[in-house]
Amino acid sequence: MKLAVDRYVSEIIPAPRNDATDVRIVVFPYAGGSAAVYSGWRTIWPDRWQLLGVTLPGRAHRLTEPFDHDPASTVRKIADELVLREPATTTIFVGHSMGADIAFAVGQLVTPHALVCLARAPLPLARSSAAPHEVEAETRAELRARLGTLEIADAGVVDELVEMNMPVLAADLALLAEFPRNPPPLPVPIVALYGENDDVEPLSWDRRSSQHTVLEMVLGDHFFAMSDASPVLRVIHNLVDERERMTK
């Protein structure tokens, strides 16, 4: 099926062409990220699974488009594109950091069969009271921490990369600040994976699901899924198997 609109959601790894889509995984990237950063999963991806990725405006192939400012509009557009696709037997959303919040919100409109949250605790009920200069300082610190994993020796290069990436990260965090803080729970299982070396406090998503939730610690930092996706694949396999047992 050719999509009339395909801006937010793109295909990273296609489903088998000779059959209907059996398993569809939709990945929602971290702040500042795009669908393209998960293309490395291709080397360990099961043949019968389709992988879709979400890309917000202002990055990757959407670099020249203005940033989104209205979370309700963003969520609706992503949901609309997913609905246009042929249905899959099993659909699982995977949200990485901020992407978990977007995936959860999209799930209110297009319910998946499960949600996997990577390196992300549920949004707190209270909104941040931080001043703009404090938010900017935190954003710069987060960018420097990300770039630190690349082991770049030249401090000037690091400074340049920080300035290049500040606009998109700041836009994403501003968008996230407007997300609802007390949404209804999703009627699906939620699995939360946290890196043992991450600064994110590992909290359960039990108040965000009317079904069972799981919290698991794995090796790695905030970007463990980029260096080793095997824990993510293991969780998805378990959820797919559970779904298949339920539908037999």
Give pLDDT tens digits for 16-36: 776 667 899 999 999 889 999
Tell me the pLDDT tens digit for each residue of 75-89. Answer: 999 999 999 998 899
Integer Cα distance of 196 and 221 in angstroms: 6
Q: What are phi and psi of 23, to 5 degrees?
A: -125, 125
Which residue type, as a one-letter code, is found at position 137? A
Which residue type, as a one-letter code, is found at position 146? R
Q: 175 vs 49, 56, 71, 106, 144, CA distance in Å?
A: 31, 11, 6, 14, 21
The lowest-confidence range among 15-24, 48-57, 68-77, 127-136 is 127-136
Percent of the chain clearing pLDDT 90 (strictly above): 63
Q: State mean pLDDT over 176-183.
A: 90
Chain-wide mean pLDDT for the chain?
A: 86
Give CA angle at 91 (42, 196), nearest 5°.
60
Q: State mean pLDDT over 108-124.
A: 96
Task: Please give the sequence-ordered ranges of beta strands (E in DSSP) within 150-247, or none if there are none.
Answer: 190-195, 213-218
The lowest-confidence range among 26-35, 97-106, 157-166 is 157-166
Q: What is the CATH number of domain 9-127+181-247?
A: 3.40.50.1820
pLDDT reported for residue 42: 93
86 and 20 Cβ atoms separated by less than 8 Å: yes
Integer Cα distance of 16 and 196 in angstroms: 36
26 and 36 Cβ atoms separated by less than 8 Å: no
According to DSSP, residue 196 is labeled T
Q: 4 pLDDT exceeds 50?
A: no
Question: Considering the entire predicted model, what is its pTM?
Answer: 0.88
The lowest-confidence range among 6-10, 63-67, 116-120, 182-186 is 6-10
Rg, C-alpha atoms of the chain: 18
Question: Which residue ranges make up each domain of the chain?
Answer: 9-127+181-247
Give just the sign of the alpha carbon dihedral 209, 202, 82, 241. Answer: negative
49 and 15 Cβ atoms separated by less than 8 Å: yes
According to DSSP, residue 17 is labeled T
The sheet carrying 114-118 orders its strands as: 9-13, 49-54, 23-28, 90-96, 114-118, 190-195, 213-218
Q: State mean pLDDT over 174-201.
A: 93
